[in-house]
Amino acid sequence: MLRNGEISAFNKRVTEFGNLDLSGAVLSGANLSEANLKLAVLSGADLSGADLKLAVLSGADLRAADLSGANLRLTYLSGADLKLAVLSGANLKLANLKLTDLSEANLSGANLYGGNLTSANLTRGNFTRANLSRANLSGADLSGSDLSDSVIIHPEYENLTLDANTSVSNAIIDDAHFFDYIRGFTNNVPEKIGNKNELKIKLLEVIRDEEFVTKLLSISKLPS
């Protein structure tokens, strides 16, 4: 139930909210897992810490929404408008972000492992400290974006667009071909990593989960 911009008594696992205008609503910490929010208007809404796992948000208007710390694992966001949205620390593992507008969005510290970002507008976004490992960036546009201190292990990047203002300074990148591809656009690049031992040392400096570091090493293209 929506009262004064807040959702109350909302814990139903599958809920139909498609096409509704929830702009500015306070949904912080709400359980919206598997909810149908297709084409919903959520611009300026507070969804911080909300559980949106497996939710459908395709074509939704999430401009300037606060999704910081939200669980968006396996969430379907294809074609959604997330311009200026805040997704810092959000879990977007395996999320479908194809054709989304994430221009000027804040995804600092977000987990985008295995996310589908094909043809997404990622211009002028903040991806500092984000995990983009195994992400599909094919056809996406990262012009002017900041990926400093991010982790990008074994990505897909066919026809990825960057420019001189894109920064990947201090990022951890294992794919030598991807490294050279980036350097064709910008000089804001980290030192090249030569082998998995070097990669492990760098990963352990930023990731405390040793099991996850082992997983990243297993998918890396670097020699032992």
Q: Residue 210: enclosing H or E segment and its boundaries?
A: helix 210-219
Least confident window among 7-21, 133-147, 184-198: 7-21
Amino acid 19: pLDDT? 73
Give the model's pLDDT for residue 14. Answer: 41
- Please check whether residue 62 is in contact with residue 45, taking contact to mean a CB–CB distance below 8 angstroms: yes
What own/partner pairs with CB < 8 Å and gap ≥ 24 does 187-192 have? Answer: 188/148
80-105 burial code (b ≥16 CB/10 A, e <16) = bbbbbbbbbbbbbbbbbbbbbbbbbb
Tokens representing 12 are 């139903």
As a whole number, the mean pLDDT across the chain is 93
Count helices and strands in the chain by DSSP H and E runs: 3, 4
Distances in Å between the alpha carbon of 24 and those of 5, 201, 207? 7, 44, 35
16 band by pLDDT with thresholds 50, 70 and 90: low
Beta bridge partners of 41: 21, 61
Which has more confidence, 221 or 69?
69
Q: What confidence score (pLDDT) does residue 106 get?
A: 98
Cα 178 from Cα 21, distance rounded (Å): 41
- What does the pLDDT look like over 66-116, one tens digit per residue? 999 999 999 999 999 999 999 999 999 999 999 999 999 999 999 999 999
Angle between helix axes 210-219 and 196-206 (nearest 10 degrees) is 140
Contact 24, 47 (CB under 8 A): no
Going by pLDDT thresholds of 50, 70 and 90, the confidence category of residue 169 is very high
> Taking a C-beta distance cutoff of 8 angstroms, is the pair 103, 125 a contact?
yes
Separation of alpha carbons 221 and 143, rounded Å: 26
Q: What is the dihedral of CA 159, 112, 83, 44, to 10 degrees?
A: 170
What Cα–Cα distance (Å) separates residue 78 from each residue in 58, 72, 84, 174?
Answer: 5, 13, 17, 28
Q: Give the other-Cβ count within 10 Å of 34's Cβ.
A: 17
Write out the two tokens for 42: 């959520």
Q: Say how many residues make up the chain.
A: 224
pLDDT value, residue 196: 96
Please give the Cα distance from 144 to 131 (Å, whole number): 18
